Chain A
Amino acid sequence: MRITQGAFSFLPDLTDDQIRAQVQYCIDNKWAVSLEFTDDPHPRNTYWDMWGHPMFDNPDAAALIMELNACRKLYGDRYIRVVAFDSSQGWESVKLSFIVNRPAEEPGYRLDRQETAGRMIRYTTRPYAADRPAGARYG
C-alpha cells in the first residue's frame, strides 16, 4: 500500500529534477531545507530521524540533491522526506514537506479492533513493517 504523506503524495514519485526545482523554490523563499528518514511509516509518527543539519546557507538546491543521494546510498530502503522550514515569523514552522524516497515494498497496515465494555470498539492501525525491529523492516 502506497503511503501518502505530505505534499505531492498523490502524484507519481518526483524525479530528481523535479525535486531540485521544488527545493530551489523553497530556498528562494528563504526556507531552510532538510532531509529526514524513517522506517516507521505510521502516519502519526512525527519524529523522523534527521539526516545531517538543516541546510540554512546553501543558495543552490544541488547541495540538497547531493545529500539526498548520500542518504539514499545508506537508507535507500526507507522513507526519506524533504522538509522546508520558514523562520520569518520568529519560529521555525514547516512550510512544505514531501516524500522523496520510499521502500520498494510497502506492506501497508493492519486494522486492529479491540472490543471493550458495552460493545464499544477501539481501532488501531498498525504497520505490518513495524512487526520487525527498527532497522530491519524493509529489504
Chain B
Amino acid sequence: MPAPALAETQVPQAAAPAAIDLREEFETSGVKDVLAELDRDLIGLAPVKRRIRETAALLLVERARRRMGLAHETPTLHMSFTGNPGTGKTTVALRMADLLHRLGYIRKGHLVSVTRDDLVGQYIGHTAPKTKEILKKAMGGVLFIDEAYYLYRPENERDYGQEAIEILLQVMENQRDDLVVVLAGYAQRMDRFFESNPGFRSRVAHHIDFPDYSDDELLRIAEQMLEKQNYLFDTKATAAMADYIARRRAQPHFANARSIRNALDRTRLRQANRLFESARGPLDAKALSTISAEDITASRVFALSSGEGEGK
C-alpha cells in the first residue's frame, strides 16, 4: 500500500523551543560519537580534525538556530579537500557524510566517489546525461569528486569538462538541500582550478587542507593497519619499517598512507614466502602473524642507495 505520507506535510510545525542545550544536542545527535571515532581511528591530521570540529560546532549551532526560527537558509556545505595523495581525503569525506547525516543536513548519508571519467562524456551530448546520472545517484548524500581540476582543461576550449562544470554549479546552487559536493585534489592544482573557475570558489564554503604525515605517524599507521589484519611487527621489524618509511619518502611517487599500505601488502607476501620456504614442522599463530625485519629489508627501496631512487 502507498505510504501514509500524505498527511505528514500538513501537520502544523511544533512550536519553537525556548532554549536549546548545545551540550545535550552534541551528545544525542551522535556528533560526539563521530568526532570521537575520528580521533581514535585517524592518526595525525590534527589541523583537519580541528577544522571538522569547528564545522561540526557551526552546523550544530545553525541547526539550533533553525529550530528556533532564527535561520531559514540551508548553509553552504560544499567543501574542498586539498592535500597530497594518501593523506586521508576519501576517508575523511566518508566521516563527513556520516556527520552531516547525523546532523540532518543530508537525508541519506552515502558517499558517491567519482573522477572526471564518471562525469565527462566522450562525444557531444554525452556529458549532460552522464553528469546528471551521477548527481541523481549522489542526491541525499555526498558527491566526492577526486582530482576535480581535471574537469577543467584550459588547453582545449572544446573540452566537454566545461559542460559538466556548468551542470555541477547549477545543482550546487539550486539544490543545496539535496546534496553536498566535496572537491578533492592536490593543493596547488586545486588553487589554479579555483582561480580559473570563480563559480566554484564562491560556492565552496569550507576549505580543508590535509598535511603530509610525519614519519612517526606513518609508522603508527602501519602498525594500525597490521593490527586490523591480525599481524604484528617484532622489535627489529619496527625499526626496519621506520627506516623504510624514511627511505621511501625520499623516492618519487610517494603517496603517504597509500604507499605504506602497498608496502605492507608486499611485506605480507614476502613473509608468506619466507614461512613457506623455511618452515620445518608446524607453525603456531604467532609465527604466522609476525612480520620480521627481513621481510621489510628485502624491499627494493633498501637496494637503491637512498636519494637517487628511480622508477616505480
Most chain A C-beta atoms within 10 Å of own C-beta, residue among B3, B107, B137: B3
Task: State A59–B141 Cα separation when bound (angstroms).
Answer: 9
In the complex, which residues of chain A have a beta carbon less than 8 angstroms from the beta carbon of B136?
55, 58, 63, 66-67
A-B contact pairs, 14 of them (CB 8 A): A8-B6, A17-B9, A18-B9, A21-B5, A22-B3, A22-B5, A24-B5, A25-B5, A59-B108, A61-B140, A62-B175, A63-B137, A66-B135, A96-B2
Task: State A7–B171 Cα separation when bound (angstroms).
Answer: 31
Q: Are B108 and A25 in contact (CB under 8 A)?
A: no
Give the distance to chain B from A54, nearest Cβ to Cβ, in Å.
12
Q: Are B137 and A7 in contact (CB under 8 A)?
A: no
Across chains A and B, the number of contacting residue pairs, with CB separation under 8 Å, is 62
In the assembled complex, A13 has its CB within 8 A of some CB on chain B: no
Task: State A24–B178 Cα separation when bound (angstroms).
Answer: 13
Known: A17-B9, A59-B108, A61-B140. 14 other contacts (CB 8 A): A7-B2, A11-B6, A18-B9, A22-B3, A24-B5, A25-B2, A26-B3, A59-B137, A59-B139, A59-B140, A62-B139, A62-B175, A63-B139, A96-B2
In the complex, which residues of chain A have a beta carbon less than 8 angstroms from the beta carbon of B3?
21-22, 24-26
With both beta carbons as reference points, the residue of chain B lying nearest to A16 in the complex is identified as: B9
Task: State A118–B107 Cα separation when bound (angstroms).
Answer: 66
Count of B interface residues, CB-CB < 8 Å: 20
In the complex, which residues of chain B have a beta carbon less than 8 angstroms from the beta carbon of A66?
132, 135-136, 139, 175, 178
Given that A17-B9, A60-B107 are contacting pairs, would A22 and B2 also be in contact in the complex, using a CB cutoff of 8 Å?
yes
Chain B 171-206 near chain A by CB (<8 Å), digits 1 or 0: 000010111000000000000000000000000000
Task: State A17–B136 Cα separation when bound (angstroms).
Answer: 17
Give the distance to chain A from B127, nearest Cβ to Cβ, in Å.
16
In the assembled complex, A15 has its CB within 8 A of some CB on chain B: yes
Pick the residue among A17, A21, A25, A60 that contacts B141 (CB under 8 A).
A60
Which A102-129 residues have C-beta < 8 A from chain B? Answer: none
Which B128-170 residues have C-beta < 8 A from chain A? Answer: 132, 135-137, 139-141
In the complex, which residues of chain B have a beta carbon less than 8 angstroms from the beta carbon of A24?
3, 5
In the assembled complex, A57 has its CB within 8 A of some CB on chain B: yes
Task: State A22–B4 Cα separation when bound (angstroms).
Answer: 8
Given that A62-B175, A62-B178, A66-B136 are contacting pairs, would A18 and B6 also be in contact in the complex, using a CB cutoff of 8 Å?
yes
Pick the residue among A22, A57, A67, A96 that contacts B137 (CB under 8 A).
A57
Task: State A67–B251 Cα separation when bound (angstroms).
Answer: 49
Task: State A14–B140 Cα separation when bound (angstroms).
Answer: 22
In the complex, which residues of chain A have a beta carbon less than 8 angstroms from the beta carbon of B140?
59-62
A-B pairs, top 6 by smallest CB distance, nearest first, are A60-B140, A25-B3, A21-B5, A63-B136, A62-B178, A62-B139
In the complex, which residues of chain B have a beta carbon less than 8 angstroms from the beta carbon of A60?
107-108, 139-141, 178
In the complex, which residues of chain A have a beta carbon less than 8 angstroms from the beta carbon of B179?
62
With both beta carbons as reference points, the residue of chain B lying nearest to A22 in the complex is identified as: B3
In the assembled complex, B277 has its CB within 8 A of some CB on chain A: no
Give the distance to chain B from A47, nearest Cβ to Cβ, in Å.
23
Task: State A67–B139 Cα separation when bound (angstroms).
Answer: 12
Task: State A37–B140 Cα separation when bound (angstroms).
Answer: 26
In the assembled complex, B220 has its CB within 8 A of some CB on chain A: no
In the assembled complex, B110 has its CB within 8 A of some CB on chain A: yes
In the complex, which residues of chain A have a beta carbon less than 8 angstroms from the beta carbon of B5?
18, 21-22, 24-25
Task: State A22–B6 Cα separation when bound (angstroms).
Answer: 8
In the complex, which residues of chain A have a beta carbon less than 8 angstroms from the beta carbon of B135?
63, 66
In the assembled complex, B8 has its CB within 8 A of some CB on chain A: yes
In the complex, which residues of chain B have a beta carbon less than 8 angstroms from the beta carbon of A7?
2
Which A14-47 residues have C-beta < 8 A from chain B? Answer: 14-15, 17-18, 21-22, 24-26
Which B89-110 residues have C-beta < 8 A from chain A? Answer: 107-108, 110
Given that A17-B9, A21-B8, A21-B9 are contacting pairs, would A59 and B2 also be in contact in the complex, using a CB cutoff of 8 Å?
no
Q: Are A8 and B175 in contact (CB under 8 A)?
A: no
Task: State A66–B177 Cα separation when bound (angstroms).
Answer: 12
In the complex, which residues of chain A have a beta carbon less than 8 angstroms from the beta carbon of B141?
59-60
